Structure 1
Amino acid sequence: MQSFPLTVRRSIELVGLVVLGMVIIYGQQIIMPLLMAFFMSIVLLPVYRFLVRKKFPRVLAIFLALLLMIIIITGIMFFIMMQTKPVISDFATIKQNILNHINELSAWFSEKTSISTAQQSQFANEQSKKILDSAGQYLGGAAGSIGSVLIFFGLLPIYTFLMLLYKDILKQFVYLWFPQQQHPKIKDALAETESIIKSYIAGLLIQITYITILLGGGLLIMGIPHALLIGVIFAVLNLIPYIGALFGNILGVLLTLSSSPDLSDVITVLITIAIVQFLDNNILMPRIVGGKVRVNALASLAGVFVGGALAGVPGMFLSLPLLAVAKVIFDRTEQFKQWGVLFGDKLPQKRNLLKRKPKAPVKK
């Protein structure tokens, strides 16, 4: 491909990106569990290697590592379910608080505009009817989504088990694509990829824990209703780079409004979230991950939206580690090195990126 003209090479790269996007869109139910299993198998590698060193059989070591992963995920899901029970039991109070806030907002809106409360109620009833009429159309899609989620979590442990079992075959498959003299570079890329994924995903698990403790505990001390649930929701949504924190703030405010008649509680929630987010972004998370995921903010944000458009919520969660792995590969190839520069966070040191050619000496 290096023998082709530059325009032809760039055209092939763009066509390859389009084909890759189509493959992800139409094959996401197969690709997403495989990618998640790939990441989880790398995270479980230290546990697997530890058990193998302790003379456990390989199959038993993989089974025990998977069992540990299932126990952790089940514990997180059980904790979330326990926190949602008080919300369900307080449904009557939540409904009354929502009606009070709506009435206050309606009265304020009537004062600021010429639209009366009756007109607002009529508009709200019309919109509610439209929503109810179209709700049936989404029930089939929701049922399909639930089925996809069940298939996803059903295939995940199976794929993870098989990837750990056949990891040496997968490595050999990668090496056979390249000539012998490039194998040291491939080995270095695989080692860095493993280090990045382990640091990133293990860091996310730690991040969920300390955000839940800091935010949920802080709000609990201040007497905010459903404090731990707000902490869990924000911690989980914060896994989506940049936009996850925004949705976490919105849901935290909505949950507080529905649970408390006092607007000062909303301000307390927003201030506490801002403090926890500052500690997370500037002190805690950089020390945990160690700055290994060196992807700039523009590429991360674009990756989140592209991943969401191509593969939904799983694509948004996996966008940043996939970009980090892609950058490791691009940095080690001459053909795609410019993509590594585009994804990276290292700014050029010189202002003038294009060097001027020296002037030819004047002949006397």
Structure 2
Amino acid sequence: MKELPLTVKRSLELLGLLLIGTVMVIGSDIIMPVIMAFFISIMLLPIYRWLRKVNLPEAVAIILPILIVFIFVGLIVWFFSAQVGSLVKDFPQIKANVSKHLQALSNWVSKVSHYSTKEQLDFINKKSNDLLAMAGGMASGAAVTLSSVFVFVGLLPIYIYLILFYKDILLRFAFMWFKTDDHPKVKDAIYETETIIKSYLVGLLIQVTYMTVLLGGILLLLGIKHALLIGVIFAILNLIPYVGALLGNIIGVMLTLTASTTLGPVITVLAVIAGVQFLDNNILMPRIVGSKVKINALMSILGVIVGGSIAGVSGMFLSMPIIAVLKVIFDRTEMFKQWGVLFGDERPTKSPMKFPSFRKKGTVETTAGVDKG
């Protein structure tokens, strides 16, 4: 069979990307629960295999790990709700502190600009109707979002059960896509994908735990109010690469300001967050997750943004494991190897503009000795 011209191949690749993106946007409510269930199923595989080794029925060996996951999630929700409840109890004091901060902000604005306090109040009153109208629209949208969340959570255990039950059919389907000569590569890619997803997701669970304990515990010892709530919010948001840490800092500062009339606790919170983040990024997380596949920062940020625009918060959380799986596949496929290079963090020691050997698809010398998946 005659090989297609290179321009046709590249055109087909771009057309395929466009079609995949369109399908993801249109069917995100259907596709994202399936992807989430797929990742959770892989994480539960060791438990399932162990239960099967001790001769438990297959249905029981699948249901028990699913119950463990939902009990764990339920405990997190209970803990978070208890912390929010303590925040609600302090609402009168929070209201008084917010009024003081707003008055101080108003005085500062009056000093640095020509707007008086009266003009600022007139501006706020003028915009209040617009804000109320916007809030009404957001409330109706939130109702739709809440219903979709319940559908998402309701479908997850069903999908997880079916993926584990029919895993051999899915594996056979994957092998039948490729020639028999390529099956060893496919098998290798499947094993590595399983390892990467398990290490990544289990690492994230461990990260949420120790970030909550470290950050919340240190802030609690330092006398910061709502310390545990700040810790759990930051730990969960930190799962979103790059963007989550920034949001966590902002929410931590806002919670501290509502509970304090001075800036001292705010500086303390920011310093503790910075210290815990440094410990997490440079010592703890690399040892827990490891460095099987490295994704460069540009693709990580783009993945988070694209995932968020396609599927909201769930898309942002799932962007990194999806990119990691794609890189494993691309690195083992001659046709798509350039996409694996684009996602990776392996920088050539010399410029491809000056050295033709660095323009080829083969392995090249890199500036950092990273594993090539």
* TM-score range relative to shorter protein: over 0.9
Aligned equivalent of 1:214 = 214
Secondary structure class of the residue paired with 2:178 = coil
Give the count of matched residue pairs.
357
Aligned equivalent of 2:24 = 24
Once the two structures are superposed, the pairs formed by residues 97-116 of structure 1 within 5 Å of their partners are 97-116=97-116
Once the two structures are superposed, the pairs formed by residues 83-122 of structure 1 within 5 Å of their partners are 83-122=83-122
**Are 1:81 and 2:81 an aligned pair?**
yes
**Cα 1:343–1:2 shift into 2, 3 Å:** farther
Secondary structure class of the residue paired with 2:334 = coil
Q: Which moved more, 1:248-257 or 1:343-352?
A: 343-352
Q: Cα distance, 1:355 vs. partner?
A: 3.2
Q: Deviations over 1:241-299 (max 9, x none)?
A: 00100000000000111111121100000000000000010000000001124111110
Distance in 2 between residues matched to 1:339 and 1:82, nearest whole Å: 46
Q: Cα distance, 1:315 vs. partner?
A: 0.6
Q: Which moved more, 1:134-143 or 1:99-108?
A: 134-143
Q: Which runs of 5+ in 1 are unaligned?
A: 358-364
Once the two structures are superposed, the pairs formed by residues 163-312 of structure 1 within 5 Å of their partners are 163-312=163-312
**Cα 1:293–1:99 shift into 2, 3 Å:** farther
Q: Cα distance, 1:23 vs. partner?
A: 0.5
Q: Cα distance, 1:356 vs. partner?
A: 5.5
Distance in 2 between residues matched to 1:226 and 1:137, nearest whole Å: 31
**Are 1:36 and 2:33 an aligned pair?**
no
Secondary structure class of the residue paired with 1:223 = coil
Distance in 1 between residues matched to 2:291 and 2:229, nearest whole Å: 30
Aligned equivalent of 1:320 = 320
TM-score, normalisation: structure 2: 0.94
Contact 1:200 1:293 in 2 (8 A): no
Distance in 2 between residues matched to 1:356 and 1:24, nearest whole Å: 37
Aligned equivalent of 1:355 = 355
Q: Which runs of 5+ in 2 are unaligned?
A: 358-373
Q: Cα distance, 1:166 vs. partner?
A: 0.7
Contact 1:33 1:155 in 2 (8 A): yes
Distance in 1 between residues matched to 2:205 and 2:356, nearest whole Å: 49
Q: Cα distance, 1:179 vs. partner?
A: 1.2
**Cα 1:120–1:344 shift into 2, 3 Å:** same
Distance in 2 between residues matched to 1:268 and 1:344, nearest whole Å: 37
Secondary structure class of the residue paired with 1:239 = coil
The structure, 1 or 2, with the larger RCO (C-alpha pairs under 8 Å, 6+ apart) is 1
Q: Cα distance, 1:13 vs. partner?
A: 1.0
Q: Deviations over 1:303-353 (max 9, x none)?
A: 000111111111100000000000000000010000000000111122345
Aligned equivalent of 1:344 = 344
Aligned equivalent of 1:138 = 138
Q: Cα distance, 1:151 vs. partner?
A: 0.2
Q: Stretches of 4+ moved more than 4 A in 1?
A: none
Distance in 2 between residues matched to 1:271 and 1:356, nearest whole Å: 48
Aligned equivalent of 1:68 = 68
Q: Deviations over 1:151-183 (max 9, x none)?
A: 000000110011011111100010111111111
Q: Cα distance, 1:240 vs. partner?
A: 0.3
Contact 1:237 1:244 in 2 (8 A): yes
Distance in 2 between residues matched to 1:30 and 1:48, nearest whole Å: 26
Secondary structure class of the residue paired with 1:270 = helix
Corresponding letter in the other structure for 1:325: V
% identical equivalent positions: 57
Q: Deviations over 1:63-87 (max 9, x none)?
A: 1111111111111111111111111
TM-score, normalisation: structure 1: 0.96
Aligned equivalent of 2:55 = 55
Secondary structure class of the residue paired with 2:240 = coil
Secondary structure class of the residue paired with 1:294 = coil
Contact 1:293 1:321 in 2 (8 A): no
Corresponding letter in the other structure for 1:181: D
